[in-house]
Amino acid sequence: MINVIQRSVTFRAVPAVLFELYLDAEKHSLVTGSKAVISKLPGRRFTAFDGVLSGRNLLIVPRRMIVQSWRSRSWKKTDADSVLMLFFSKIPSGGCVDLVHVNVPDHDYKGVSEGWEKYYWQPWREYLQRKLD
């Protein structure tokens, strides 16, 4: 069975700002509190959380969409990479990130699923709130 994580998360920021929070290495590192090495170019490798997460940018549509191969260091060598798709759209109150994360291994499904909120969305909200204050 292929595991899929789907989330729609809203923020009080425009899509371009949200796109940059994920794909700009300096901002990604600042907001998550861990080093990220990431590029805005397709085909480039990335790491996040001091190398715990890694993968490759498969498709980048500036300010609109990011598609990556994605895996955790805790995954088994026999686990295939997952595919992460992030879609950024404008809503009246700011922006929305629609996440589709496909092929997350059974043994880490709960951790990855909960990790999006804990390690990304909540820190993003806190960062954006500080910017508004």
- Output the pLDDT for position 132: 78
Taking Cα atoms as reference points, which of 2, 4, 6 lies closest to residue 97? 6
Count of structural domains within the chain? 1
In percent, how much of the chain has pLDDT > 70? 99
- Indicate which CATH number applies to the domain containing 57: 3.30.530.20
Q: pTM here? A: 0.95
- Output the pLDDT for position 103: 97
Taking Cα atoms as reference points, which of 107, 119, 102, 130 lies closest to residue 9? 119
Mean pLDDT of the 115-133 span: 94
Domain span at 8: 4-132
DSSP 119: I
- Output the pLDDT for position 33: 96
Tell me the three state secondary structure of residue 89.
strand
7-63 pLDDT tens trace? 999 999 999 999 999 999 999 999 999 999 999 999 999 999 999 999 999 999 999
